Structure 1
Amino acid sequence: MKIIIVGAGEVGYHIASRLAFENKDVVVIDKSMEAIRRITENLDVQGITASGSSPETLEQAGIRQAEILLAVTDSDEANLVACLMADMLSPATRTLARIRNAHYDNYHDAFKAAPPHINTVINPEIEVVKTIHRLMKIPAAVDMGELVEGRVKFVGLRLDKHSPMAGVRLKDFASMFGQTRPLIAAVVRRQELIIPRGEHRLEVGDLVYFICENERLKETVALFDTTTIPLRRVMIVGGGRIGERLATLLEKQSIHTKIIEADMDRCHVLSEGMSKAVVLHGDGSDQNLLLEENVGDADVVVALTNDEETNILVSLLAKNLGARSTITKVSKFSYIPLMSTIGLQKVVSPRLSAISSILHDVRKGKVLSAISVLGEEAEMIEAMALETSAVTGRPLKKISFPKGAILVSIIREDAIMIPSGESVVEPGDRIIIFARRQVVHKLEKMLTVKLEFF
């Protein structure tokens, strides 16, 4: 698979890193010589210092042989032009553009329609707002995603000492909890990611990742000795595009919302656009301001400024002043593994959302969705089982899944099943697989062709 990436920023770099690791043929284009030097010195990819929207540059990169072009520069307009030009030069090449400006929201379908067209348009800010909203509903949740059009939830929760699951082996879950038992996909214990088997016991303090049907979410969460609590008051620090999108969503649900924004001009824009949210001008990291605005009464404080350090400080202050829950926006990937060590469990990243969306589009086989987990340590993959794939037609116990991957659920028509060794995946089934990053490329092959790799 040959893939051209236009843009060597953080998203472009990490996408190139993932794809090169999976032995894909990657070409990266960027106008910055320094960015190209960084990417070619650290990764096994080809780099071109030029404009990715130039037809001459696209020809040089091999656009006519490329299966996919990903346009992920910091300019929406450059991404649009690169994709449209690529479609004109090579209609067989699939194109994906990252577009963040809300002014384009109503035109995504138009971009996909008339030729030249763009196959996929992603806005990671929209996905981040969805993630924040899901996390708000379960204050104890560290991570949360959706699969199977929202029918299945993927949740990460800390195991409390009062939980009935503490100290229990996974193979005993069926006898203890019956059909209400959660499907445990992964456990993080002392910073180590574990793909658990039947003999594994859950321990207090484990970060447990599980999946469950949407209608069973509340009762499953209760097994962790936590509850879902109605959302009433939200404080947003940072009134940029993500803050504005989130406030607009909360207004529609009649949730009392305050926005603190440091830029006066931006405050005026927000005040004109908001109908119910209270817009305040000030420094969200000012402890006195937070006290004046009763931050301790907030159900959730969401730190969404454009400065990582400010977001971290705001979340720590809010927790110290009594806020029930905090959500912190972090863009630097190097910060994400450190957040739990300082007590900030809920972290969202627009860049990570972009990577998840892009990987879903790139994956071979009939992949329907892919969620990055623990930064970039692993993926939760939802795929359609093809007749030609190595996972169909035989009991699971006879299929050699790569070490570091586990099939956690089979969805057949309206039934969501917990698989056993005797289970057989049929063509047309949806399957959900949790996998470490290192084995994803092997899973791709298994999902595509009937071959034994181990």
Structure 2
Amino acid sequence: MRLFSRTPRVEQLKVVIVGAGEVGFHIARRLAQESKQVVVVDQSAEALRRVSEVLDVQTVQGSGCSPVVLSDAGVMDAHIFLAVTDSDEINIISCLFANAIAPDSRKIARIRNEEYHLFQDALTNEPLSISTIINPEKEVIKAIDRMLAMPGAVDFSEFADGQVKLVGVRLEQGPLIGRRLMQFREVVDDVNVIIAAIVRKDELIIPGGSDEILAGDIVYFACKDTSLETVRRISGHDTAPVKSALIIGGGNIGLRLAMLFERKGLHVKLVDKDKARCMVLAEKLNTTLVLHGDGTDQDFLREENVDAMDVVISLTSDEEINILSSLLAKNLGAKKTVTRVNKAAYQPLVSAIGIDNSVSPRLAAVNSILHHIRRGKVLSSVSIRGEGAEALEAVALADSDVVGKPVRELGFPRGTLLLAIVRGKEVVIPSGDSIINPEDRIIILTTREEVSRVEQALTVKLSQL
């Protein structure tokens, strides 16, 4: 029997989502595509109309703070409860009533205010019992930090406590351009590095040996943490570390990022249009130079020597301002730009107009929440290029057919690739002859269409099929 030879018979996962905004909508879409049972609750009829017109999910209009509305949404038999509105208070109260109605459900809440995070025990213990707290702002800062650690990186994920990296790098030059994958080992003799995926003009390719790497491709490398330097070397990018940064926007994200950069010893300038906010920032920061100014003013940027900056990061709450300031900085000579873009529809346009990298608090929240939703032996998951594919980390069940056979005999569906096997502290980048042992962690990349089958196959013992 092969791992993917038939569909496992498992109980359908039911998820109730409070909040039909960008975060709730994108999570609902992902879960609906995976044939999960999804109910979306929101007070806005217009927001629910958008959901119901596009997605095959159930909608309930009303407040997530109402126990009657939550009961109508079927919270009592939900496996997972998500509170992802823009209001921390609504999310907390929703979890309070959800826990009263369904104490055994797993509750995940989006909470941004740092003051609430100071009382972690009050949020995670009774009467709330929130299983996981997601702070989108912290997720964005982590994403920016990882991007800057790897020149040319547009995506950076870690698995198995950091032992395995999955890095998406835009290749404009270097030894891999024009090479087919079957020639990869002629250029890269490090067996701990493989190519997992290629993104070309927003098309995701799980490549075969005959696929060629072209200039402008985003190439996803899977590697051991000790082989990250190999990826840097073959990516064709300047590997000089970032030493200076200009941050445009002194909100919570800009402030936290400046604090992080200070701890790393970077030379930091932080710009904000609000004079009163600049005074607050100056009091909270130590070595950062706080400037009162407009990030879309060319003369101001020129005066601040933006051309000498290693990176310009635009983090205001207005994405049009962020895009414009990044384009101006790039035109004036900034080496690298990172732009905060909230609307998912804008994401594909960012690289097309010349901006190096984009980050989104909302999409960061979506990815982080999906990371915690997977069932059973699936430990975590990371979305690749928005929603094109997903990398899953799972534990190999002792009595499943995945154990004890060469990888080439496992019958993976097209578009699915085994990236790594983690056995204790040993990491194996597999070949066709590699064999998975019981309790190994395995990391699999699969297309969106196959996520549900792969998740179920990794969760359910084959004796139950």
What is the TM-score of this pair, normalised by structure 2? 0.92
Is the deviation greater in 193-202 or in 61-70? 193-202
How much does 1:28 deviate? 0.8
**Contact 2:396-2:438 at 8 Å conserved across structures:** yes
Aligned mate of 2:148, from 130, 136, 142? 136
Please name the residue that 1:436 is paired with.
447
**Contact 2:42-2:64 at 8 Å conserved across structures:** yes
**Distance between the aligned counterparts of 1:2 and 1:51, measured in 2?**
20
Is the deviation greater in 61-70 or in 412-421? 412-421
**Contact 2:248-2:315 at 8 Å conserved across structures:** yes
Stretches of structure 1 that go unaligned for 5 or more consecutive residues are none
How much does 1:399 deviate? 1.8
Letter in 2 for 1:320: N
Is the deviation greater in 440-449 or in 170-179? 170-179
* 1:217-232 mapped onto 2 (5 Å cutoff): 217-232=228-243
**Contact 2:246-2:269 at 8 Å conserved across structures:** yes
Stretches of structure 2 that go unaligned for 5 or more consecutive residues are 1-12
Please name the residue that 2:298 is paired with.
287
**Distance between the aligned counterparts of 2:113 and 2:320, measured in 1?**
24
Please name the residue that 1:414 is paired with.
425
* 1:171-250 mapped onto 2 (5 Å cutoff): 171-174=182-185, 176-179=187-190, 182-250=193-261
How much does 1:264 deviate? 2.2
**Distance between the aligned counterparts of 1:148 and 1:394, measured in 2?**
22
Aligned mate of 2:318, from 282, 302, 307? 307
- Pairing 1:354–2:357 present: no
Residue by residue over 1:16-74, the C-alpha shift from the partner in whole angstroms, topping out at 9 and shown as x without a partner, is 11111111111111111211122122211111111112111111111111001000000
How much does 1:230 deviate? 2.2
Aligned mate of 2:269, from 258, 264, 271? 258
Q: Secondary structure at the match of 1:179?
A: coil
Is the deviation greater in 6-15 or in 369-378? 369-378
Please name the residue that 1:11 is paired with.
23
- Pairing 1:69–2:81 present: yes
Letter in 1 for 2:135: N
**Contact 2:404-2:437 at 8 Å conserved across structures:** yes
How much does 1:206 deviate? 2.0
Residue by residue over 1:279-319, the C-alpha shift from the partner in whole angstroms, topping out at 9 and shown as x without a partner, is 11121111111011111111110010111111111111111
**Contact 1:407-1:432 at 8 Å conserved across structures:** yes
**Contact 1:144-1:153 at 8 Å conserved across structures:** yes
**Distance between the aligned counterparts of 1:416 and 1:271, measured in 2?**
45
Q: Secondary structure at the match of 1:173?
A: helix
Length, aligned pairs only? 451
How much does 1:254 deviate? 2.0
Please name the residue that 1:118 is paired with.
130
Q: Secondary structure at the match of 1:234?
A: strand
Please name the residue that 2:9 is paired with.
none
* 1:371-390 mapped onto 2 (5 Å cutoff): 371-387=382-398, 389-390=400-401
Is the deviation greater in 164-173 or in 213-222? 164-173
Residue by residue over 1:127-179, the C-alpha shift from the partner in whole angstroms, topping out at 9 and shown as x without a partner, is 11011011122332222222222222221112243x22233333343454333
What is the TM-score of this pair, normalised by structure 1? 0.95
Is the deviation greater in 242-251 or in 97-106? 97-106
**Distance between the aligned counterparts of 1:389 and 1:317, measured in 2?**
56
How much does 1:188 deviate? 1.5
Letter in 2 for 1:214: D
Is the deviation greater in 133-142 or in 332-341? 133-142
Please name the residue that 1:335 is paired with.
346
Please name the residue that 1:88 is paired with.
100
**Distance between the aligned counterparts of 2:387 and 2:277, measured in 1?**
34
**Distance between the aligned counterparts of 2:122 and 2:240, measured in 1?**
40
**Contact 2:193-2:224 at 8 Å conserved across structures:** no
Is the deviation greater in 208-217 or in 239-248? 208-217
How much does 1:106 deviate? 2.5
**Contact 2:262-2:268 at 8 Å conserved across structures:** yes
Q: Secondary structure at the match of 2:189?
A: helix
Give the ranges of 4+ consecutive aligned residues of structure 1 lying more than 4 Å apart after TM superposition. none
Is the deviation greater in 217-226 or in 59-68? 217-226
Is the deviation greater in 306-315 or in 419-428? 419-428
Q: Secondary structure at the match of 2:236?
A: coil
**Distance between the aligned counterparts of 2:460 and 2:326, measured in 1?**
47
**Contact 1:72-1:98 at 8 Å conserved across structures:** yes
- Pairing 1:277–2:288 present: yes
- Pairing 1:323–2:304 present: no
**Contact 2:18-2:24 at 8 Å conserved across structures:** yes
